[in-house]
């Protein structure tokens, strides 16, 4: 029963991306790192390829990669423009396939791995679903990070605008203004998302970085608006 279900799971994980010859186990070449081995039976494993993998001999679920490619995991092209519907379908498929309930009769180590995979899938989904987090992840993959604690890449007029909005949000009894600010934030986020997309299409990472920094300010404002409308 486990072997049959495991075969169904592998088809769900790979989808249309069948493993090619490069993913088969092979002996280590001179100067290369030794092939990883199954924690359960010890045989050499195929290259991971960013996807959850099972031992071809004993069918044991293997641990997640330490630094997986989230785009590959979620079956998405490495691009700022992704098919959100396809992402959502992939997420649901992986969550069902890797649910800890399926591993309830497996060894504790394997149950732990299933939980780790589920957590990773959640993180990947949240990262790629959000335009801001998706853009920041793309920058990270290209070795570019937003500078922390500095506004050196942001123009002064933009910072003044953000400051004025923050001051308005701090005013008491300003429900009408909050609704206005909420609509303004939504419009600006849509504009910035389009501009970020164009920057990535031009491979202009520095421009994308500046735009994502601005988008981050508007996300912070959005959180403040939500807190103002729904105080805890």
Encoding tokens for residue 52? Answer: 């959850």
How high is the pLDDT of residue 12? 53
Encoding tokens for residue 108? Answer: 């504790």
> Which of 90, 53, 83 minimizes the C-alpha distance to 68?
53
* pTM value > 0.75: yes
* Rounded-to-integer distance, Cα 119 and Cα 91, Å: 11
| Residue-level pLDDT, tens digit, the chain, 232 residues | 555 555 555 555 544 444 443 444 444 444 466 778 999 999 998 876 667 888 989 989 999 988 899 999 999 999 999 999 999 999 999 998 888 788 988 999 999 999 999 999 999 999 999 999 999 999 999 999 887 655 666 889 999 999 999 999 988 878 889 999 999 999 999 999 999 999 999 999 999 999 999 999 999 999 999 988 887 6
How high is the pLDDT of residue 127? 98
Query: Would you say 153 and 126 are in contact if contact means Cβ atoms under 8 Å apart?
Result: no
* Rounded-to-integer distance, Cα 187 and Cα 152, Å: 25
Question: Residues 9, 38, 112, CA angle at the centre, nearest 5°?
Answer: 60
How high is the pLDDT of residue 121? 95
How high is the pLDDT of residue 175? 84
Give, in order, the Cα–Cα distances in Å from 97 to each of 56, 179, 209, 211. Answer: 18, 42, 36, 37
Q: What proportions of the chain, in percent to the nearest 5, are helix, strand and coil?
A: 60, 0, 40
Rg (CA), the chain: 22
* Rounded-to-integer distance, Cα 19 and Cα 56, Å: 13
Residue with token string 């959000």:
130
How high is the pLDDT of residue 172? 84
């Amino acid at each position: 029963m486990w072997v049959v279900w495991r075969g169904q799971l592998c088809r769900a994980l790979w989808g249309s991306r069948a493993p090619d010859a490069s993913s088969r186990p092979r002996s280590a070449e001179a100067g290369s790192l030794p092939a990883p081995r199954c924690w359960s039976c010890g045989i050499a494993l195929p290259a991971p390829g960013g996807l959850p993998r099972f031992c071809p001999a004993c069918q044991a679920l293997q641990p997640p990669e330490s630094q997986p490619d989230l785009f590959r995991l979620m079956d998405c092209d490495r691009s700022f423009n992704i098919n959100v519907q396809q992402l959502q379908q992939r997420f649901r498929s992986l969550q069902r396939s890797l649910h800890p309930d399926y591993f309830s009769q497996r060894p504790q180590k394997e149950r732990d791995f299933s939980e780790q995979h589920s957590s990773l899938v959640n993180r990947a989904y949240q990262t790629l679903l959000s335009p801001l987090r998706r853009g920041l992840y793309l920058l990270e993959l290209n070795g570019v990070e937003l500078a922390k604690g500095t506004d050196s890449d942001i123009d002064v007029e933009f910072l003044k605008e953000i400051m004025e909005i923050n001051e308005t949000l701090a005013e008491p009894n300003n429900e009408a203004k909050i609704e206005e600010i909420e609509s303004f934030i939504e419009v600006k986020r849509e504009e910035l998302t389009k501009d970020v997309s164009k920057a990535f299409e031009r491979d202009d990472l520095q421009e994308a970085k500046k735009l994502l920094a601005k988008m981050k300010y508007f996300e912070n404002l959005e959180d403040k608006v939500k807190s103002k409308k729904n105080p805890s």
